[in-house]
Amino acid sequence: MKRLLLCLLPSLADAQGAGPVAMHAPLVRLSTGHDCRTYPGGAFSTGTGGTVRLSYVVGSDGKVGAVTITKSSDNHRLDSDATDCVKSWKFLPPKSGGETTSVTAEAMVTYSTEEHGA
């Protein structure tokens, strides 16, 4: 009945995809936006599950811009819900060399109907 979320560190490519850049500090997500802990309507009752991998850009203002599905769950409803969830997040503005910047990061959202012990 849980949906687990793993937010990964920023990738080593800049937001424009121009190639490797200096390592950024880990992103700090603020307590705004969805926490991605609920299934989209009806998907849980049908036992639908899967993992969605996403790439997203955090702008110099800390808001999530472009979100791209890099690996689909093969279920449109789950993919759409994971995308909407990530789009709602806000971060402390990322910095590189003391200046705010945009950074590309990745997230993985797993929908599972099984209970997992903590």
101-118 pLDDT per residue, tens = 888 888 888 887 775 444
* CATH architecture designation of domain 3-33+46-111: 2-Layer Sandwich (3.30)
Selection from 89, 93, 94 nearest residue 5 by Cα? 89
pLDDT confidence of residue 95: 79
Residue 24 predicted with pLDDT over 70:
no
Q: Tell me the mean pLDDT in the region 23-38.
A: 65
Examine the pLDDT at 97 and tell me if it is beyond 60: yes
What's the pLDDT score for residue 98? Answer: 82
Contacts of 76 (CB under 8 A, 6+ apart): none
So where are the chain's domains?
3-33+46-111
First-to-last C-alpha distance (Å) of the chain: 13
Among candidates 34, 50, 11, 41, which has minimal Cα distance to 84? 34
Q: What are the tens digits of pLDDT across the range 46-83? A: 767 888 999 999 999 999 999 999 999 998 989 998 99
